[in-house]
Amino acid sequence: MGTAIAEGLLKSKFCKAADIVVTKRNTTTLQALSQRGVKTTSDNSEAVSKSEIIILAVKPYQVSEVLNSFKPVIHSKHVLVSVVTGVLIKDIQDSIGKKIPVFRAMPNTAIAIQQSMTCLSVTDAASAQIAFVNKLFSTLGKVAVIDEKLMDAATVLGACGTAYAMRYIRANIQGGIEIGFDAATASLIAAQTVKGAAELLLEKGSHPEQEIDKVTTPKGCTIAGLNEMEHQGFSSSLIKGIATSYNKIVKG
Ligand SMILES: NC(=O)c1ccc[n+]([C@@H]2O[C@H](COP(=O)([O-])OP(=O)(O)OC[C@H]3O[C@@H](n4cnc5c(N)ncnc54)[C@H](OP(=O)(O)O)[C@@H]3O)[C@@H](O)[C@H]2O)c1
């Protein structure tokens, strides 16, 4: 996720490569970024002391170790953005022991191509800082500012949602091959059709059922297929899957 954000920032030209520092313990895997001019280091403390915005993109169990590694150098003018799943803003502030602006961001992997859906929540930030972080993620896709209590729901719908969509597209490819296409053509048709359907909703602000009405001729093939999918539990299985993912986060 950290490298995907760096790639997105480079592609969008939001900032210069030389203004980005990416840290990880094993920096050998960051060669592609360093060749493009991004600074790479395993020294978190040095990276934080030379930066203004810190994006924390580690696994939840690594948070406390990483926060400790730069705790002595972080100060109230820093802005910390955590993309870590399930770690509360309050826990980060308590761990640091200083009152600094902390954002939680829940992007998805499409951030690498500037097509993320990112949900943001914030505590103790000035309006200019909120505007800046909003702008940063807006260059990497779309942004919704949400209450922190909705972050688990945002994780499911926005981040796990990429996997659900992929499985939907994969099923279309499988079906497409069964009805005559080779895999490459079926993949292109399935992915572009889903992209176009999503763009219709985003650009026109219409409801999915309005768009479905335009495609379903009475007694036609679309409604016959759709109704069969519903008889087989299509919408219900998706809703149950979303609720199961959510319960897994909330109840463990
Ligand atoms: N994948 C998604 O779709 C998605 C979406 C939204 C949010 N998230 C959240 O984003 C976070 C990162 O996810 P991910 O999939 O990118 O995990 P990941 O691939 O394991 O990346 C974590 C990175 O942290 C580095 N790291 C670990 N300890 C470090 C330390 N002490 N100092 C510096 N770097 C350190 C690791 O590199 P080294 O081992 O080399 O140090 C690794 O590159 C998670 O909390 C996840 O829940 C993920």
Could you write out the DSSP letters of every residue in the chain? -HHHHHHHHHHHTSS-GGG-EEE-S-GGGGHHHHHTT-EEES-HHHHHHT-SEEEE-S-GGGHHHHHHHHGGG--TT-EEEE--TT--HHHHHHHHTS---EEEEE--GGGGGT-EEEEEEEES--HHHHHHHHHHHHTTEEEEE--GGGHHHHIIIIIIHHHHHHHHHHHHHHHHHHTT--HHHHHHHHHHHHHHHHHHHHHH---HHHHHHHH--TT-HHHHHHHHHHHTTHHHHHHHHHHHHHHHHHH-
The pLDDT of residue 153 is 97
The pLDDT of residue 124 is 85
Which residues surround ligand 1 with Cβ inside 6 Å?
Answer: 1-2, 23-26, 44, 57-60, 62, 65-66, 69, 83-85, 106-109, 159
The pLDDT of residue 99 is 85
For CA atoms 106, 1, 12, 43, the dihedral sign is: positive
Mean pLDDT of the chain: 96
What would the pLDDT profile of 139-179 be if each residue is shown by its tens digit?
A: 999 999 999 999 999 999 999 999 999 999 999 999 999 99
What would the pLDDT profile of 21-33 be if each residue is shown by its tens digit?
A: 999 999 999 999 9
What would the pLDDT profile of 112-129 be if each residue is shown by its tens digit?
A: 899 999 999 998 899 999
What would the pLDDT profile of 65-101 be if each residue is shown by its tens digit?
A: 999 999 999 998 899 999 999 999 999 999 999 889 9
- Both tokens of residue 211? 């768009």
Residue 145: phi and psi, rounded to 5, are -90, 125
**Mutate which of 48, 58, 70 to test ligand 1's pocket (most atoms within 8 Å of Cβ)?**
58
pLDDT tops 90 at residue 197:
yes
The pLDDT of residue 123 is 87
pLDDT tops 90 at residue 63:
yes
- Amino acid sitting at position 89: I
